[in-house]
Amino acid sequence: MPIDTLLLPLRQNLSIMSTVIGRRQEIEELERLYNSNRPEFVAVYGRRRVGKTFLIKQALKGKFTFQHTGVSPVDQEDLQKKNRYSQNLF
């Protein structure tokens, strides 16, 4: 096997590491799960606006065809309140 073929995953991982700061362990875990020989379900959760979606998009760039980003019930309530408020303005 050519050395370039062997180094390709390493190069891709280094490229991701330069884009995402301080998430080496998470990226390695996502890579491990992606490369496992069985189906895996991964739930990524945490505070808002900390880069969860960005992390997954960068770590698995070009490797999946489906994604779903959910809205928490709290966010839905806030959105409904904002919509009611904006309707009252007009």
3-class secondary structure, 28: helix
At residue 76, φ and ψ (nearest 5 deg) are: -65, -40
CB count within 10 Å of CB 20 equals 17
Contact 42, 33 (CB under 8 A): yes
pLDDT in tens, 32-64: 999 999 999 888 888 888 999 899 888 888 887
3-class secondary structure, 89: helix
Q: What is the residue range of 80's domain? A: 3-89
Total tally of structural domains belonging to the chain: 1
Band the pLDDT of 8: cuts 50, 70, 90. low
